[in-house]
Structure 1
Amino acid sequence: MAASSFNDESSLFNFVVKQGNGVKGLVDSGQTTVPGQYIQPPHHRINKEHVAGSLENMTFDLSELDGPNHEQVAKAITHAAETLGFFQVVNHGVPLELLESLKVVAHKFFTQPAEKKAVYLKGVSPSPMVKYGTSFVPEKEKALEWKDYLSMTYTNDSDAFNFWPSECKEEALEYIKTSTEMVKKLLQILIGNLGVKPNDSRLDELVGLKMVNMNFYPTCPDPNVTVGVGRHSDMGTLTVLLQDGIGGLYVKKGDQNASLEDEEWIGIPPIDGALVINIGDTLQILSNGRYKSAEHRVRTTSSQSRVSVPIFNAPLPVVKIGPLPEVVARDGVARYREVTFEEYMNNFFAKSHDGKKSLDFVSL
Structure 2
Amino acid sequence: MLLPSSDNSLPLFDSLTKSVSFRCRFRNKKQAKQSATSMVVPSKPAIEPFSYVGNSMPNSNALYSHQIPLVDLSKPDSKSLIIKACEEFGFFKVVNHGVPLDFISRLEEEAVKFFSLPLVEKEKAGPPDPFGYGNKKIGWGGDVGWVEYLLLTTNPSFNYRKFPSVFSESSERFRSALGDYISAVRDMACEVLESMADGLRIQQRDIFSKLLMDEQSDSFFRLNHYPPCPELEAFDDRNMIGFGEHTDPQIISVLRSNNTSGLQISMKDGTWVSVPPDQNSFFINVGDSLQVMTNGRFRSVRHRVLANSSKSRVSMIYFGGPPLSERIAPLPCLMKGKESLYKEFTWFEYKKAAYNSRLADDRLEHFQRVAAS
Range class of TM-score, shorter chain: 0.7 to 0.9
Q: Which residue of 1 aligns with 2:69?
A: 58
Given that residues 250 and 265 in structure 1 are in contact (C-alpha distance below 8 angstroms), is that contact kept between their aligned partners in structure 2?
A: yes
Distance 1:42 1:279, change over 3 A: closer
Within 2, Cα distance between the matches of 1:155 and 1:194?
30
Q: Which residue of 2 aligns with 1:25?
A: 21
Distance 1:188 1:163, change over 3 A: farther
| 3-state SS of 1:145 partner | strand
Question: Where in structure 2 are the equivalents of 1:244-283 lying within 5 Å?
Answer: 244-255=258-269, 263-283=270-290
- Of 308, 315, 321, which aligns to 1:308? 315
Q: Would you say how many aligned residue pairs link Structure 1 and Structure 2?
A: 320
Q: Which residue of 1 aligns with 2:48?
A: 47
CA apart distance, 1:130 = 2.8
Given that residues 46 and 227 in structure 1 are in contact (C-alpha distance below 8 angstroms), is that contact kept between their aligned partners in structure 2?
A: no
| 3-state SS of 1:152 partner | strand
Tell whether 2:347 aligns with 1:341.
Answer: yes
- Of 95, 98, 105, which aligns to 2:110? 105
Distance 1:39 1:176, change over 3 A: closer
Q: Which residue of 2 aligns with 1:150?
A: 150
- Of 194, 209, 219, which aligns to 1:210? 219
CA apart distance, 1:206 = 4.6
| 3-state SS of 1:147 partner | strand
Within 2, Cα distance between the matches of 1:169 and 1:285?
34
Moved more, 163-172 or 188-197: 163-172
Given that residues 135 and 229 in structure 1 are in contact (C-alpha distance below 8 angstroms), is that contact kept between their aligned partners in structure 2?
A: no
Within 2, Cα distance between the matches of 1:313 and 1:333?
27
Question: Where in structure 2 are the equivalents of 1:150-299 lying within 5 Å?
Answer: 150-156=150-156, 158-159=157-158, 162=161, 165-166=166-167, 168-198=174-204, 200=206, 203-206=209-212, 208-220=217-229, 221-222=231-232, 224-255=238-269, 263-299=270-306
Within 2, Cα distance between the matches of 1:176 and 1:311?
7
Distance 1:241 1:42, change over 3 A: closer
Within 1, Cα distance between the matches of 2:207 and 2:199?
18
Q: Which runs of 5+ in 1 are unaligned?
A: 1-22, 65-69, 256-262
CA apart distance, 1:325 = 1.3
1:123-177 C-alpha deviation (Å, 9 max, x unpaired):
xx7xx56321124546632x62111110001222x43664562263322221111
Moved more, 193-202 or 287-296: 193-202
Given that residues 82 and 292 in structure 1 are in contact (C-alpha distance below 8 angstroms), is that contact kept between their aligned partners in structure 2?
A: yes
Distance 1:82 1:199, change over 3 A: closer
Distance 1:57 1:138, change over 3 A: closer
1:332-356 C-alpha deviation (Å, 9 max, x unpaired):
200011111011111111122115x
CA apart distance, 1:180 = 2.1
Q: Which residue of 2 aligns with 1:73?
A: 78
Within 2, Cα distance between the matches of 1:272 and 1:26?
25
CA apart distance, 1:110 = 1.0
Given that residues 141 and 359 in structure 2 are in contact (C-alpha distance below 8 angstroms), is that contact kept between their aligned partners in structure 1?
A: no
Kindly, what percent of the aligned residue pairs are identical?
Answer: 28
Within 1, Cα distance between the matches of 2:261 and 2:79?
27
Q: Which residue of 2 aligns with 1:115?
A: 120
| 3-state SS of 1:317 partner | coil
Given that residues 320 and 338 in structure 1 are in contact (C-alpha distance below 8 angstroms), is that contact kept between their aligned partners in structure 2?
A: yes
* Structure number having the greater helix percentage: 1
Distance 1:116 1:73, change over 3 A: same
| 3-state SS of 1:37 partner | coil
TM-score (norm 1): 0.80
1:56-77 C-alpha deviation (Å, 9 max, x unpaired):
252222122xxxxx2x221011
1:192-243 C-alpha deviation (Å, 9 max, x unpaired):
3333223548632256222110001011232743211111110111111111
Within 1, Cα distance between the matches of 2:161 and 2:118?
21
1:59-114 C-alpha deviation (Å, 9 max, x unpaired):
222122xxxxx2x2210111001111111111111111222223222221111111
Q: Which runs of 5+ in 2 are unaligned?
A: 1-18, 50-58
| 3-state SS of 1:245 partner | coil
Given that residues 176 and 311 in structure 1 are in contact (C-alpha distance below 8 angstroms), is that contact kept between their aligned partners in structure 2?
A: yes
